[in-house]
Amino acid sequence: MTPGTAVVVNLTEQSWTLHRSYGTYQVRGCAPDEPYALIPLSGTRAVMDLGDKRTLEVPISAREVAQDLCREINADAGEDSFFGVFVAQAEQPDVDELTEARQRLAVFYRSMVASADREWERSHSYLFIHDVQRRAARYLGLEKEWFYQARETSDCPGCGEKVRAGVAVCKTCGAILDRDKAAALGLAPLGVAPAAAHLPARLAGSGRPEQPAPRER
């Protein structure tokens, strides 16, 4: 490790921004193809106000900065919480460090899942399940009834109802949202005119049979 630097290891995809009197720090989450993220930090100096217009510069080592950031992140959920962030002893964490950190993270996440299970049994409300509990279930690979994930939606051009991305036909009004996909599924013929494709048959004027003229009496 370069003298005067320290490395923070983040085992999760979660990112944090932390503000200190001596600077603002970004602790990034790991990318999908990364086993962990490495955040190198340098030492700095803080300025103490001694009064009477006197100040004192206090050196803060890189390791002290790293430990301070990790302490705040890991304590965010109360006593014994751990969010998978720690200070490595070298430029890269060794096997023992990673094993211990992953075990601590799994223990904490299991406690989060257990608390979500109790809350769900009591209330059956998604409103009382927080993001840390959902992240815990995802990290542990657990399928839970309360593990609700919001999906991206858009407005149907036919009726204005919310529909999920990738939907071929609106279930409310029958509007064809993806013509090729709908045709492949047998839900619409190929080459359907856009106007007719986006309206149900009962509303498409061009498809309405002509009514015979009333007879004269």
Mean pLDDT, residues 119-132 taken together:
93
> Tell me, what DSSP letter sits at residue 211?
P
- Predicted confidence (pLDDT) at residue 209 exceeds the cutoff of 80: no
Least confident of 67-71, 84-88, 211-215: 211-215
DSSP 61: -
Residue with tokens 């999908």: 32
**Domain layout of the chain by residue ranges:** 5-93, 100-140, 151-204
Side-chain half-sphere exposure of 42, counting CA atoms within 13 A:
3
pLDDT by residue (tens digit) across 25-56? Answer: 999 999 999 999 999 999 998 888 888 888 88
HEC-encoded secondary structure of 155-194: ECCCCCCEEECCCCECCCCCCECCHHHHHHCCCCCCCCCH
> Would you give the DSSP letter of residue 120?
H
Instruction: Work out whether the CA dihedral 126, 129, 135, 140 comes out positive or negative.
Output: negative
Residue 199 confidence class, pLDDT cut points 50, 70, 90: very low
Out of 3-12, 93-102, 134-143, 150-159, which region has the weakest mean confidence (pLDDT)? 150-159
Report yes or no on whether pTM surpasses 0.85: no
Please identify which residue in the block is written with the tokens 């149900």: 200
Mean per-residue pLDDT, 142-154: 78
